[in-house]
Structures are given as C-alpha cells and as structure tokens.
Structure 1
Amino acid sequence: MRRLLRSLARRFLAVRRTPTYYLPWLSRPGLDCALIIANVESRFRPGFSDGPFPVDVVQYDADGATVRRYEVVLGDCTDVVELALQPTPAGCGIVVVRGERLRSDLYVTLANGESYTATHGRGEFVEEYPAAARAALTVLGGALALAGATVAAFARDQYVYADVESRSHVLLMNLSNVTNRIRVAVRAEGRTLGARLIAVPPMGARLFDVGAIGGGGHDGVRRVRLTGNAWFNLYLVGAGPRDLEGPLSLMHVK
C-alpha cells in the first residue's frame, strides 16, 4: 500500500525518474580514491560488444556542486581505465557515470599504500522534481524541520556497529534535485538513543558518525532508521581505532 501511495504521489507531483548509475567517493589526506571503468560484461551481449565505448563521468561534491567532468573512451570490451577522482575539502560526494552501451558494474577504490578496499555502484535512478513540487517540499519540509521531523516519502533501515576499536559511519547520498531532509533515528538494546535531522543538498552527500547520536556508553550493534522526503541511498564507511584518519572500508548495502 505504501509503495502504491508513493507511486501515485510521484504522478501527482510530476516527478521524473532518470535511469542513472552512481557511486560514492571519499577523499582524505594520504588516501587515493579512484573509479575503475570497464565494460567486460558487454562481450556477452550481442550488439554491445564492439567498441569504442564513450563514457561520461560527473563528480559531485558534498554540497551538490560539480567538481569535475571526465570524458573516457574504452577501446573495446576488455579495456580498463583507472580514473583518479579529484579530492575536495568536503571529502565526499557522488559520482554519476553515463554510457549508452555501458553494461558492467563499476567500482570505486580507496587505497593508502598499505590497505585497499573497493565497492561497486548502483544502477538505479535520480529523481527530478518540477519547480512547484520543489517549492512545496521546501515549505512543508521547513515547517516539519522545526519539530525535528521530515516528509516521510522514503525510509531505510540499517544495522551499524560502533565502539572504540571499530565504528561505522554512514554516507548519505541525495539522489534528487530537491533538498532532502533525512531524519536519522538510532536504537540499541530496545530503546531509542537519539535522532538527528540532516539536510542534504540536491545531488549532495553527508558523512556522519552514527556513534555520535545518543552519546557514548552504548557500544555494539545499533539499528538506524532513516526517513527522507526524496529518494536517497547510503553506503557504510568502516573505520578502526584511528577513525576516519586511518584505513577505511567502503560497502554498499541493499
């Protein structure tokens, strides 16, 4: 029923969904972030296996601004390009990849010379709201924000881990052209530890420490409920005792 209501609301608001392949990116001092572009799966698809394959890449900063555009050409279906992504002071964001005949999963890697991690992107969509719908969400969302609430259009549940030696940060990615007010509620041991409302700009991202919500003294597994007024997704960033200054892991969640 909830899915049907969301579908009807999108039609009423004239929301358009554009198919999009996206990935996260992170930058930290001493950490190299690269996008691995390949199209090996196209060799198994008749009519898609012959190169060249032009690929357009747009890197968005945490505030949704375009950091850089890249134009890449894969010579054939076995060609691989490692594209170094530009670091920024914000240190995180979204990468959007478009290619008419691109049919393979792509990967983002993090490396510091000693450790290495990688995760793949998601072939989903970006929501585009018309001006009237954006204005309505701005007014309604602003009013609800005064009470620490948001328009509950989309929701995600995620388990994370937090203690001194190992903690999970969450990278929120706003996959829409409207400010996404995402309410993050954290529970542990059957009770609510706290909640926070995070405003993420259009096509922007926010990296936050789940362990900071509700204070210390609750090490272990936490259940996080995320509710936003527009389409969003998340990746988990795992950190050790040095937190974000040490080796990191990056993982997508379903």
Structure 2
Amino acid sequence: MKPVIAITPDYNYELQKYILSQRYVDAVKKAGGYPIAIFDTDDFSDIIDGIILTGGGDVNPLLFGEQPIINNGEICPIRDNFELKLCQWGFHKKLPMLGICRGMQIFCLCNGGSIYQDIYTQTNTNIKHIQKAPRFEATHTIDIIENSILYHITQQKSCTVNSFHHQAVKQAGNDFIISAKSKDGLIEAIEHKTLPFVVGVQWHPEAMPQDTIQQKLFQVFIQNTIQKRGKLI
C-alpha cells in the first residue's frame, strides 16, 4: 500500500469552500504517495503516514503576539488553528512533514518562532519575492547549508527557486535549524533538529514539476514516510 499523505487545503470564508491545488496532488502521486485532503477536525487518523502543510494566505499576527501592520494580507483563523493543531500532532507522532511557503511559517510558530508580517517594510530586502513570472519558473537563488537534509537532497550549495511570498520566517524556534537563505539573508528553508524529516521551504516545489531537484524533495519525503511506517510499495 502506498503511504497516505494528508494535504491541508485552503479555506474560502466567502464561498465556504475548501480549495486544494492539483499541483500538490500531482507531486505526491508522482513521488509514489497516496494524497488525501484533510479538513478541520480534532480527531486525526492513524492511517496518515505524512503531512504536507501547503501555501496560502497570511498567518494571523495575533498568533505570534503582534498587531497587524498596514501591509498584512488576508488571514484565515479557521485554517491557522487547524494547521497548528495538526502540526503539533505530527510532531507528537514523529511523522515526516513538508511545509511549503505558509506551511514553513506554521512550523516555526508551533516551535515558538516568529515571522515577518511583510518583508518589504520590515527588512532591507532588494529581491523580488513575489514574482510575475509563471509559477514553474525559478526567479532567484538560495544558498544551501552543507550537511543539511536539503543539501543531501540537492547535492548543491545553491539552487534557484520560484517565489510567491511577502511574509517570511524571522526566528525558526529552538528545535529547528536554518538550511537555506536567499541572497538578501531571508530564511528560505528550515528543518527539525531531531525528527527524521520535518522540512520547511519558502518556495513552491509542487509548481516546478520539470525541475528534478524540486521533485526529489517530494521523493525523499515519501521515502521517509515509507521508512516510518515500514510500508512497501
């Protein structure tokens, strides 16, 4: 049986609909997993072998002790609360987890970290992190820390990624290490110090199906879910 990967969807208040991009589903299937959408619940199932926290809107700044600034975007408290619960449960179960964009920020908030509400007013970045190019195009470079999980996956000290964010991790929290930064010093990837595969990336690897490095990230994630559960494909 293929490993079951729970993927968090976005939630639209106005339409009262959950929304999940096909790109996440395709990336998991291509890597050998069985994707399912997981919704707001207090009862998480033991059939779950791994978790993907997806990208989406801004995280509510009240969750990290700040008032919203002028450039803060749309928030979704229902999603915030659900993903924080799911993340804590995943930590407790020691499940492999992949946090993408907003998902990486949820990791750090679960671990006592903090985020920038808006990098363009709260940092000195001169790099465009909300690209106008198609989602599958890489538009800026990241530097990868040697001996990190990300380095072992890429076998490179740098690579190029896409970029669609105005929030970013400020402090990753005590249990995470930084595994990549962009040229302006912003954190682009983090990983848990002790859990076998809990990796957060600020970019969107699911939107780059033609990029072998980005797809290898999903492959290694799925391999870790198989090892965790002792399943064979």
Q: Tell me if both proteins adopt one fold, taking TM over 0.5 as the criterion.
A: no
Q: Which has the higher strand share?
A: 1
TM-score (norm 1): 0.28
Higher helix share: 2
Question: What is the TM-score when the length of structure 2 is the normalising length?
Answer: 0.29
